[in-house]
Amino acid sequence: MMANAGPFRVEPLQDAQGTFVPVQRSRAAAIVKAVVKVKGSDPAHQASLYFNSERLWSAAGHAPNFPERPRVFHSLRNFSPMLILKLSIVASFALATVYVHYRGRARLGFWRQLSDHSTFMAPINCLMYLFSRAPSTPYLPLDNFPELEKLTAHWQQIREEAVRLYEQGDIKASARFDDAGFNSFFKTGWKRFYLKWYDTEHPSAAELCPYTTALLKEFPTVKAAMFAALPPGARLVQHRDPYAGSVRYHLGLITPGDDGCYISVDGQNYSWRDGQAVMFDETYLHYAENTTQSNRIILFCDVERPIWFAPARWLNRFLSRNLIGAAAAPNREGDHVGGINRAFATIQSVRLFGKRIKARNRTAYYALKWALFGGLLAAWLYF
C-alpha cells in the first residue's frame, strides 16, 4: 500500500527484512510523517528528512537500512560546534573591521588597517559605538559634557604648574621602553607628564602638580590626564587610538595661537588656543603637527564615553580598569608601571628585530609577518 502526498511518497513502516514493524499508535503517526523519500534533488531538504527519520526510528527501537546520506549532510556534520563558533568570531572581526575602516572620511591603507590595533579591538569598539550617547562625528559638542566647564575655567592655575614642570624638564619622552601606548610618538618630538592613569595615581604628579591632581579628583569621568607638549617641528603620525571607551579632551595652556599648530581629526583641522577646550573622538584617524617656532602644551584627558545601556557601560568600565589601566607608565622612579609596560621591553626587542629585517628586505619582512599572522589564525581555528 502506498499513499501519494504531494511531493512526498509515504510508505508503510518495514524493517530491513521487509516485515511490518509493530509500533505504538502514539509514535506511528510521527514516524510515518518523517520516513519519506523526496522526489527531486534538494540537498538541504534531503539532509533534514534523513536526519529526522533516523532519529525517530532510533526512538522506536528499530534501525532500518537507509540509503547513503546526502553529501551535504556529511559536509555539515564535519563542522564541529567549536569550529562554527570560531568562524563566527572571525566573521565578527571582519565585519567590525570593515565598519571601523569606512567610518569617517580618512582611511588607512588595506594592509596597514589589517594589522592595526583598531582591527583587534573592532568588535568591542563597535559595541561602544552602538550604545554611545555621543554623536558619531569627529568633533563632539562641549555642551554634551557640562561637568568639564569647571576644568576649563581653571586653565590659568593649571598652566602655572605645566610651565614649571616644562622648565624643570619633567615634561619629557620616556628614556626606556616603558610606555607602550605612546612610544612611537617620542621619536617625532612629542613629550608628556602623567597626572593620572585610570585608577593609578602617580606619586610624582601629586608631588609636582598638587593643584591639578587635586582638581582632577573632582571629575570622576576623567579617566586619564597628562600634560602633553608638541615642540616646534614635532609631528604625530596619522593613527587611531585603540579603544572607543573614552573620548578626548584637549585644553590649550601654552599655544602658538597659529593655524600652523593643529590637530586634524578625520581630515578636519583644529588649532589650539590658550584657555580654549576641544572634544573629539580619538578613534577617528587623526594626526597633529607644529610647524611654528613656538611650543605647545595642553592638558590632555581621556573622558569616559557616555553610554546609555547599563551592561555596556559596566563592560566599558571593566575593560578600562583592567585592560587600558594595565598600560600605566611612570614619570619617575617610584611611579606604578602597568603589566603591559612591564612586558613592553621584551615586545619592543622583537619589534626592533622585525624593523631591521624590513630595512634590509621589505618583501621578506611582509612575507614573514603575514605568514606568522596566518599561521597563528590557522592554528587557533584547527586546535
| 10 confidence band (pLDDT: 50, 70, 90) | very low
Separation of CA 278 from chain center = 24
Judgement on whether residues 23 and 146 belong to the same structural domain of the protein: no
Judgement on whether residues 183 and 224 belong to the same structural domain of the protein: yes
| 45 confidence band (pLDDT: 50, 70, 90) | low
Give the containing element (helix H, strand E) for 250: strand 246-254
Cα–Cα dist 148/30, whole Å: 68
Which of 77, 94, 125 finishes a domain?
77
Domain assignment of residue 59, given as a range? 3-77
Angle between helices 25-34 and 43-60 (to 10 degrees): 160
Q: What is the CATH number of the domain that holds 137?
A: 2.60.120.330
The average pLDDT across 175-179 equals 89
Whether the per-residue pLDDT at 5 is higher than 70: the answer is: no
Judgement on whether residues 58 and 132 belong to the same structural domain of the protein: no
Indicate whether 97 belongs to any domain.
no
More confident residue, 372 or 9: 372
Whether the per-residue pLDDT at 89 is higher than 80: the answer is: yes
As for how many domains the chain has, the answer is 2
Whether the per-residue pLDDT at 75 is higher than 60: the answer is: no
Measure CA of the first residue to CA of the last residue in the chain; give whole Å.
52
Q: What is the pLDDT of residue 339?
A: 93
Q: What is the CA radius of gyration of the chain?
A: 31
- pLDDT digit string, tens, across residues 254-286: 999 999 999 999 999 999 999 999 999 999 999
> Of all residues in the chain, what percent carry a pLDDT higher than 90?
61
Indicate whether 215 belongs to any domain.
yes
- For the ranges 82-86, 134-138, 377-381, the one whose mean pLDDT is highest: 134-138
Cα–Cα dist 192/226, whole Å: 6
Q: What is the pLDDT of residue 292?
A: 97
> Of all residues in the chain, what percent carry a pLDDT higher than 70?
79
Judgement on whether residues 130 and 68 belong to the same structural domain of the protein: no
pTM over 0.75, yes/no = yes
Q: What is the pLDDT of residue 204?
A: 96
Q: How far is CA 240 from CA 64, 65, 131, 268, 286, in A?
A: 62, 61, 20, 15, 7
Name the one residue in this structure whose C-alpha cell is 569598539: 125
Q: Report phi then psi at 86, rounded to 5.
A: -65, -40
Whether the per-residue pLDDT at 33 is higher than 70: the answer is: no
User: What cell does 129 get?
Assistant: 559605538
Indicate whether 94 belongs to any domain.
no
Cα–Cα dist 51/298, whole Å: 67
The DSSP symbol for 251 reads: E
Cα–Cα dist 18/247, whole Å: 74
The average pLDDT across 297-321 equals 97
Q: What is the pLDDT of residue 36?
A: 45
